Structures are given as structure tokens and as C-alpha cells.
Structure 1
């Protein structure tokens, strides 16, 4: 079994220090195999914001956590035009991680991060041909028994956002990216950007999308909330039998608490939902699925 904490949009410079400290305490107690942070480490890509984010990551590493990190659009300077177009991710590479497309692999999972932040698109994301080739190369050598996970800041698919579930724009080179996800056999696509938790089988969202499960994270520590959704992050547990438990950990009453909890089972045509054990009990003792049930919408609050 592999245990993953998926945080996103921590936005140092517009963050709550108490919630930041609470994420460290929660991670220290649960001891995930991997901590993923899918972009937007800062609010405006200023040096002091990057320094604060860097200090946070140093504390996580000192606590023994393995990290996989990708930049977000807020990690590119917005007002500093010269730096934005001349050296957009210089500060990110100095303070956060010099590797923009990181890789993690153990006996259960293989995880690739891709940088979707671009100078010219401002808030929107983009995938380039080199990254598509890297995805195919990396996942092409992974054993079939492992869960293949792709991490980006911007979701590859058009996502429901806002109270009316209006759809966002997909990333640039969307069709090529989705085709590459299919060919690489990606099981799970993790992203952030919209400060909203959401999960759905890709085949329900886009035709010819393959068999991946799309999982969105809310903002873990930012004070800039959307749709009245509180701060949260995802707790994901995988098993070699092709099962995933997805639990949303939500900031309520001054602490992080387990809330929505959904199980997924991987079949020939992709992921379906399955029943899962009590939320709090699962945090302590791991996954426990009890057979498949009819698939349904997986939006999570």
C-alpha cells in the first residue's frame, strides 16, 4: 500500500500560519510515503514569499517526508515584466526545486510531475511536446502492476468550477496531452489551481480520454477561498490490487478533519466507485473496500 498526501495552492503571502502548522502536524502523525504539492507555492512570486515556502519545505524534509513538487502560475512573477518573460521560474528553481518535471517511484507507484505554468498564458496552463515525450518515456518503462500518477498544477481537462459548475478552459495542447495520457497508461491525474476538490473518471468528462481518474485538490493553506469551500487537501491510499481510497481532509473548527471519503476500483474500462470503510477508521488502519457499487458523480465538497 502507498499513502500519498496531495496538497495544492498553499500561496505563501496569502496563507494562514496556523493552518500551515496544522498541515505539518497532520503529516507528522500520518507519515505518508509521498507528499505532493501541485503548485502555487506563493501568492505573487516575491522573494520573501518563496523564502517562507522554502522554510516550510525544509521543515517537511527535516521531518523525513519525501516531496514531489511542481510550480503553478502564481509562482511566475506577475508585475515584474522583465523577470516574468526573461526568467519566469528563476526564483522557483532557487527556493523550491531546480527540477521542473520531477519523478518518484517505489514498489507501488510511479509519479511524474509536469510544469504547466507559462509566462504568456498568465493564469492558464500548457503542455509542450517535450513534456509529452517525457511522459511517454517515463511511464513506458514502469511495471504494469504499479499505479501511474501524473501531477500538474493546471488540470488537463475542462473542469467544473464555481457554484454553477461552469467549465474551465483546458490546458493548451489539450488533445495531444490527453492522447499522451492514454498512451502512457496514466491511472491518476492530480492537479489543483481552482481551489476546489473534485474527482471523476476521465471517460465521463472527455471522449477518448482513456481510463484515468481525475482528482483535484482544494487550497491547503490559502486565505483566498472560493465557493465557500474551506482549506483542504487529499489523502490517497493505493493498493496493488488496483484500488484507491480518496479522502478529503478539511479544515474545520480549528483543525484538519477527515470528511468526504470515496473508494475506487480499477476495471477493464477504467475506475468505478466502490464502498469504503468509515472515514476516521480508514485514516488509522488503511483501506477496506466492500465490493463495487454503481458509478455516480464524484464531486466532493
Structure 2
């Protein structure tokens, strides 16, 4: 049995690449992956109309979708809401697209890396103690032989990409997640695709980043990752959209 997942990130509705998001939706409808994983930054400035556009687009995909918030999904122009209820609009999106997932050979483990207060360093992400505890609890329930994918917005550690600093608590979290059985960490944020093997606690964890479907591309053209899981093995292909 093969499970196919599409990993997409940094859609940035408000500055989305209209042709790229339309083409990705067409590919999903044609190929029918088992699920789509979105690792954050649905919007550019967390405006209501940007979330509405992202929600409408996600609904057209017609397959189960799981999403993680990105730093651009927290209120930009409303500091009070950012402090008191920063994920309000994000939760509405999640509720609108929620569909059951049946992935017997894959465990998806959400790990929030956004912060309410984001000076430059925290815009690079942070891992909270409570978020890590929740992720570890899900990993503890991982069935034998299943592949565990941790999903977050910010890369937990730096590899060979540019324009991103250290995620606060990321390296320590990665070591603990590896020890608990994580097989890969999926992220976005840097707008470039990567797939790096990372040694931690005597295990190899793959760090997998998706590109962007926005107009804010860097070295990788508009793209997404196709993940195939079969017999406990994970294969990743970067697919350009254009």
C-alpha cells in the first residue's frame, strides 16, 4: 500500500501566484493524493479577505487537508487581537476545511512554532514547552511500522538555506522528537525546497522544506513536495508548478 501526500507551504494569499495556486489545485483534483499538508503562511497579512480566499481555495481541493499556522497568519495590524486571540481566523479556516484522515501507515504530528510577540528573532520561530509535550504525546501513540511526520512552519534548525535564523528551542526539540520516533519534520517559511538528513540521538531524521506558491519565490520556482510512503519508506519529489 502506498500513501501519497502533497506538501505545500507559504501560499501568501494577498500575494499568491494566481497561476501557481490554480495549477496546484488542478493537479490535486486530477491525481487525488491521500491528503494535502500545508505548513503555514496561508496569508500575507492575516487579513479577513486573505483568509477567506485561502479557505475557498482549500475547499476546492476535494481531499483531506491539514494546516499549521505561519508567522504571517497572526494579526499584523491588530496588536490587541494578536495578544489576546492571535489564532482566531486561522481556527476558522481549520474548522471550515476539516475532513477525516485515514492514513494507516502515516502519523501526522502538528508542532506550532509561531509566537504572539515576534521581534526579528521570534519571527524565525520558537518551540514552546506545551507544544512539544503535545507532539511527544502523539508520537507515543505511533503504530509500529508507521512513518511519523512532524509538521511545523519554521525549520527547527538551519541547514543550507539562507534568510533564516535559529528557531528558538528548535535544536533541542529536534533531538527529543528524534528520540521519540519522528521520521521527518516538514516545514516551510524559507520559500525554498530542501531535504536534509539530520543525525540526532542516534537516529536519522529528514528535514523537508516546501517552496512557495506565492510571488515571493527565492531560488526555488513555485513548487510543492510529493511524499510517497510505502512499507515504512519515505520518498520525496519536488514538483514545479508552472
1:66 aligned residue: 64
Higher relative contact order (CA 8 A, sep 6+): 2
Q: Which has the higher helix share?
A: 2
2:236 aligned residue: 246
Q: C-alpha separation between the residues in 2 aligned to 1:117 and 1:105?
A: 27
Post-superposition CA distance 1:175-230 (Å, at most 9, x none):
43123212221001100000001111012xxx6473211111000x2011113x21
Given that residues 135 and 184 in structure 1 are in contact (C-alpha distance below 8 angstroms), is that contact kept between their aligned partners in structure 2?
no
Q: 1:79 to 1:3 in 2, by over 3 A?
A: same
Q: Provide the TM-score with structure 1 as the length reference.
A: 0.73
Larger radius of gyration: 1
Q: C-alpha separation between the residues in 1 aligned to 2:236 and 2:190?
A: 18
Given that residues 7 and 36 in structure 1 are in contact (C-alpha distance below 8 angstroms), is that contact kept between their aligned partners in structure 2?
yes
Choose from 222, 226, 229 the match for 2:218: 226
1:137 aligned residue: 137
Q: C-alpha separation between the residues in 2 aligned to 1:136 and 1:5?
A: 24
Q: C-alpha separation between the residues in 1 aligned to 2:91 and 2:159?
A: 29
Q: C-alpha separation between the residues in 2 aligned to 1:170 and 1:194?
A: 12
1:91 aligned residue: 89
1:184 aligned residue: 180
1:136-285, aligned counterparts within 5 Å? 136-162=136-162, 168-203=164-199, 208=201, 210-219=203-212, 221-227=213-219, 229-240=220-231, 242-251=232-241, 255=242
Post-superposition CA distance 1:272-299 (Å, at most 9, x none):
xxxxxxxxxxxxxxxxxxxxxxxxxxxx
Aligned residues: 236
Q: How large is the Cα RMSD of the aligned pairs?
A: 2.1
Given that residues 105 and 147 in structure 2 are in contact (C-alpha distance below 8 angstroms), is that contact kept between their aligned partners in structure 1?
yes
Q: C-alpha separation between the residues in 1 aligned to 2:80 and 2:202?
A: 38
Given that residues 159 and 196 in structure 2 are in contact (C-alpha distance below 8 angstroms), is that contact kept between their aligned partners in structure 1?
no
* SS of aligned partner of 1:211: strand
Structure 2 unpaired stretches of 5+: none
2:38 aligned residue: 37
2:118 aligned residue: 121
Structure 1 unpaired stretches of 5+: 256-301
